[in-house]
Structure formats: C-alpha cells, structure tokens
C-alpha cells in the first residue's frame, strides 16, 4: 500500500494538470470568440459603421465597442449577410443588392423607366436691344459750307429716304453752278466738255440731277443745296445746329432703321456647348413674347462675367423694342430623341454617375452611366442604360449604401478578428 501511494499521487497530479490546461485553453477560446448580439443570427465580426467608405474607417473587432477613428458604435456583421457569388458587378466599390418587396415598400423604393424622349434644353438670359449695325447710316457733307435751314431738329425724329435734312450754303457750290451756266452758253466742244465736268462735280457734291436740270433751265444758280436722308429710320445722333460751319469730316446725323433690331444676350460659357446658330429663341418684352433666331455667337468670353455675347435678330415693325431696352431671352436648344431617366435616378459622386437598374427578383444592379444634358427633371443618358429598363428613382441613397456595404463585406474574412 505504501509502495502504491506515490503512484496514486502522481496520477492525481497529472489529471489535475490536464484539467488546468484544458480550462485555460477553453478560456482562451472564449475570449477570442466573436461576441453574439442575441438576435439569433450568427455574428461574424463587429465593424465600423462607415466601413464601406474605406480608409480610415477600416476598424473591425470580435467584440462590440467604438471605432477609434470616429468614436461611433461598431455594428455587427451577420453570416447570412455574406455576399453571394452573383453580387459582383463591373462598378468598383459596389455590389448587386437584393431587396425583398416587403423591404422595398418599407424603405420607400420607387422605380421609373428609362425611355426615349425628345428633349430640348431651355436657357434663360438677360438681353439688351441694339440697333442693327448694318442699318445705320451717317450723313456727311462733301464740301465746306454754312447751315442755312434745318429740317430735322431733334434726336429720335423719324425720317424717310429722300426727306430733306438741311439746306447748305457753299461758295464752291455756287461757283460751280455759274461755271455750268457759262459752259452751257458755249456750243463748242470745249463748252460741252466744261458743262459735263461741272455737272459731274455738282453730282459728286450730292446735288440731285433734278436740281441741276432746274438750274440749267432757269439760268439761275441755286444759292443753297439740300442734304437728304439716305435711309428710312430715326435720328440716333444730331451734331448740327442752324448757322453752323460745316466741314467734310463732320458727322451731321446718324440715322438707324429700327424696323429690324438685334438682341444681345449674355450666355454663360457652360451653356454654350449645345447652342447653335439658327436656334430658335423667344424675347419677352412689355408683356409680349416675340420669336427670334440666333445669328451670331461671340468668339470671346468676358473675363469678369464668364459669358459670351449671343446675338439674336427679329423684326420690330411696331417699334415695341427700343435701343438699350432690357429684355428676357429664352433660348431653345434641341437635343433630339435620346434615352432619358428621371434626374433623381442618377447618383452623382463627383467623379462618376451611378444608376441602379432593377433586374429580377428584387435585385438592383449598379451601373456607371455617362450623362448628358439635364432638362425638365430628366437626365440624358448617353451610355450605361437602355430604353425600357427600370431604374430606382426614390430611396436610391439607401440602396447605394447597401450596395457599398455589400462590396465592403466581400473583402472581409468569414470570421472576424481584432486588428
């Protein structure tokens, strides 16, 4: 008995050592195990709630707590949230999302249809009425003289082509008329040559042929010559008064035809790309809307306003539009028959645009799209979506978050570990 006692003690100590080692190993495994949340679903990790955004939100743990970078509570990742094999997409950072009809109704998901639409972009701008520069005429005298009579006395006075503007006394003109009368009395070849030369000189001085013939018939020179309006219009500038001494370099009148005017509109550089010469436009002035056409697009951008000068032309028979009047300009820029989606369907991230397309069984596929013009609540889609496809137009921010989270989860290991 005494001989077997040491062996019994040795066996008991060995058994106790095994129990202690097993207990320690079990305790260590319990400490390393992922903490469950009592929901009945298996938790595989606890992660930063902004994990899908990438660095610096990449903290994950086996236990609940707070993320050290932002202080937000960690959220559980469930085993049944692991992405399936069919969730991969060509859009980096996104995954396909499956949402049951009940959950779609709960979060307010609404769908719209990509369809062909005949879009026309409307641009509004401030405009200013200007005189058509091709319909402005200046009146000069071609000889020195003195104003004897003035028929046009104020700026804005309407005149018609051929109306008398003023009467001018010129010694040179009077002398040339006398030369003509003397030459007419000489029936020789020299006389006829001198008479023809005098007639030509009088015509170049703007004396009408009828007045020249009257001088020849009466045998008496005309003391004054009349200057007449070369065009129909209104007087825009008047630089002459009764008794003024005139020189050939003086601009006496400036006359403009206001029956056809220009509208000068300032259009921002960002809106010029789709604007074309010949595009239709409307000019709103005095409560009336008048049709016009774009006839010129300025080649220079104003440095201060970042706008270009766009010129429109329109008829003004009633004189409603007056120079320097401000008007509202509405430019119509046709885009054509294109694929379009509601503007709420497009998620603009700053570097790209994403649309979620409903495929089947409540699955939403993210797609990169290239957008064009935004018109009347619709985006032109140049690539990425075809006509007839259904797209998410409401609650797409929630679908976007879910998709990005799924993509982030696909990079996690199956079981969580404390970094």
Residues in the chain: 419
Q: What is the pLDDT of residues 340-388, one digit of tens each?
A: 999 888 988 778 888 889 887 778 888 888 988 888 888 889 988 988 8
Backbone angle region of 68, left / alpha / beta, with phi > 0 → left and psi within -120 to 50 → alpha: alpha
Which is it for the CA torsion 225, 226, 231, 236, positive or negative?
A: positive
Q: What is the mean pLDDT of residues 139-148?
A: 90
* Eight-class DSSP state of 51: G
CA angle 132, 136, 140 (to 5 degrees): 170
Q: What's the pLDDT at 21?
A: 46
Q: Which residue has the tokens 């998709």?
A: 403
Cβ(158)–Cβ(273) under 8 Å? no
Domains of the chain: residue spans and CATH: 5-78 (no CATH), 84-119+337-397 (2.40.420.20), 122-132+258-334 (2.40.30.170), 139-255 (2.40.50.100)
d(CA 158, CA 138): 15
Q: How far is CA 368 from each of CA 348, 353, 384, 402, rounded to the nearest angstrom?
A: 10, 6, 6, 17
Q: What is the mean pLDDT of residues 4-13?
A: 59
Q: What is the pLDDT of residues 391-405, one digit of tens each?
A: 988 887 788 777 777
pTM, to two decimals? 0.60
Largest CA distance in the chain: 181
């Amino acid at each position: 008995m005494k001989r077997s006692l040491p062996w019994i003690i040795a066996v008991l100590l060995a058994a106790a050592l095994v129990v202690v080692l097993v207990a320690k190993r079990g305790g260590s495994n319990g400490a390393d195990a992922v903490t469950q949340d009592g929901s009945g679903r298996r938790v595989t990790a606890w992660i930063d709630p902004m994990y899908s955004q990438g660095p610096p939100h990449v903290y994950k743990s086996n236990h609940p707590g707070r993320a050290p970078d932002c202080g937000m509570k960690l959220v559980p990742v469930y085993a049944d949230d692991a992405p399936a094999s069919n969730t991969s997409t060509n859009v980096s950072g996104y995954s396909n999302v499956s949402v049951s009809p009940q959950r779609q109704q709960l979060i307010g998901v609404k769908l719209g249809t990509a369809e062909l639409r005949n879009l026309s972009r409307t641009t509004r701008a401030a405009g200013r009425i200007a005189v058509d520069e091709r319909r402005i005429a200046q009146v000069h005298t071609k000889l020195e003289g003195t104003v004897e009579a003035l028929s046009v006395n104020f700026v804005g006075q309407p005149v018609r082509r051929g109306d008398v503007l003023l009467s001018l006394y010129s010694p040179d003109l009077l002398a040339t008329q006398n030369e003509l009368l003397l030459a007419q009395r000489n029936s020789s070849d020299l006389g006829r040559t001198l008479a023809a030369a005098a007639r030509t000189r009088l015509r170049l001085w703007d004396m009408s042929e009828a007045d020249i013939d009257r001088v020849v018939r009466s045998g008496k020179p005309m003391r004054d010559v009349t200057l007449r309006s070369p065009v129909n219009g209104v007087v825009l500038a008047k630089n002459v008064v009764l008794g003024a001494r005139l020189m050939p370099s003086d601009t006496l009148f400036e006359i403009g035809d206001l029956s056809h005017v220009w509208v000068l509109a300032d259009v921002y550089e960002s809106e010029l790309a789709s604007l074309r010469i010949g595009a239709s436009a409307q000019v709103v002035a005095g409560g009336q809307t008048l049709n016009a056409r774009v006839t010129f697009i300025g080649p220079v951008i104003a440095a201060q306003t970042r706008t270009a000068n766009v010129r429109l032309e329109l008829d003004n028979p009633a004189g409603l539009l007056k120079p320097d009047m401000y008007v509202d300009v509405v430019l119509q820029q046709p885009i054509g028959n294109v694929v379009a989606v509601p503007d709420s369907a497009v998620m603009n991230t700053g570097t790209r645009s994403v649309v979620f397309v409903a495929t089947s069984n409540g699955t939403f596929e993210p797609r990169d799209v290239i957008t064009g013009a935004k018109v009347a609540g619709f985006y032109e889609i140049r690539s990425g979506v075809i006509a007839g496809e259904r797209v998410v137009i409401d609650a797409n921010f929630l679908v976007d978050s879910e998709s990005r989270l799924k993509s982030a989860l696909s990079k996690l290991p199956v079981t969580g570990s404390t970094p």
